[in-house]
Amino acid sequence: MFSQWIKEILILFGIGLAACVYRYRKFYFLSWKLPGPFAFPIIGNALNFLCSDEELLDRAASICKNYPSPLRLWFGPKLALMITDVDQAQKIMSTMKFSTKDDVYRFLEPFDGKGLITSSGSKWRRDRRLISPLLIKKNIVKYFPYILKHTKILIDILRNDNVGSFFNVEPLIHRCSADFVNETILGVSTRAQFGEMDKFIKMLSRMYTILHARIVKIWLQIEIFFRLTRYYEEQEEGIHVVVGFVRKVVQDIQSKYEYSEDDSYKPIIHHLLDIRTNFPEFARGEDLVHQLITLYSASEDTMTSIVSFTIVLLGMYPHIQSKVVEEILDVVGGKDKDIEEKHLDKLTYLDMVIKDVLRLFPIAAFIVRKAEEDFLLDDWLIPKGCSVMVSIYNIHRDKRLWEKPEEFYPEHFMPEAVRSRHPYSFLPFSAGPRGCIGKPYAYMALKILLVTILQNFEVQSEGKLEDKKLKMDISVRFRDEIYSIMLKNR
């Protein structure tokens, strides 16, 4: 009797296994054809990522370098293709067949809900169509004086407390970014530069690490295991602090909001409420909170990391700093002259500098998409539902595309160099249908901050670029989180 029961269980298991193999046969057939590191049954390549959070970038980038594109990785039972070839990246990123975000982005939802980063389908298309016009160049220039105002506060803090000795500039840039993003996006005046938002900033930064760890570490994707880790408690505290702050802002502003067609200055939150007046299904309830958190974190984190990286690199490369300062003096003037909107497009060398920083330290090192239908990529049939990861980090350091891939070399972006290079070789704000809509705001804020700092200070940095180890969470950062510089008054 017992042996008969065992036989029936084994038969049922075999039938279930055969059905599973048949259902996912296209995934297995594709996997067998592709190169990649050895994958164990059940856990796949999980052991390749059994490392500290700080080592994840090196592990992933190293795997990408060791195999041709596309290569395959198994995240547990889930197949993912890794793309490092620029032609293949263009085919993936330029089609609507890969406009759906991968399921791993669900781990961002405790903070971002179904915002522009995490949503897909009809909701994403509608929201992007409605929000995108708010961030085009002609509409974001109204935020110029507010960003400059907070940048001048930063200059006073730097001059009073941080001249003549080495210090970590990143926390000060982070506070400044928080203040002008709060004012221009959330519509609230804060005193982050005077330490009044330090807990919020700390929790938000920690959230980036936790959410990224869940995306890449398969065991953290299992809810019962995740809840046993310290990450879970930190995430719950982060939700309370970060989401709670934005939720309160929304409640306060909604209670006073009145629709107006006046085209004068309005923070982004007021524009979102205006849109909702005309499109009642847009940003209802908590969705408004999530949309704002998405815009806030994408803006503030980008400003902080790219300005910090740029300042440090200019201190390491004084000859490049001298060329930038010469251009600023010629276009804008000295520290007694404020940068104006008309100057932005004339700062061509600074633009090259910023772009090479974005090349070395992309905002997102990897992006993940999911095939909405079967897709033929060169000789490989990618089945519907398959995950595809594009390694922007590896493309940005591909020696076939860049003259000095591991060095800070703004001449990569000389007009003739750009014209001769593949259009998808530079992807700092992604590309295609899901390209970042905040690029004009980012470039404007970056130039305001950098110009004003360099008008007032000469920068020196410790160490060399090749000695600085990198890590990644939602973005790429220095592993030690130290952006050490010394300032001298000009």
Judge if the upstream peptide bond of residue 77 is cis by omega within 30 degrees of 0: no
Closest CA to 239 of 109, 107, 111, 105: 111
Residues of each annotated binding site? 436
| Cα 370 to the center of its chain, rounded Å | 18
| Cα 103 to the center of its chain, rounded Å | 17
The Cβ-side half-sphere exposure at 26, using a 13 Å CA radius, reads: 13
Residues of each annotated binding site for heme? 436
Closest CA to 74 of 16, 30, 15: 30
Write down the residue that tokens 């970060």 correspond to: 242
Closest CA to 443 of 355, 327, 360, 330: 355
Strands 100-101 and 366-370 turn out to be antiparallel
Rg of the Cα atoms in the chain: 24
Cα 291 from Cα 264, distance rounded (Å): 22
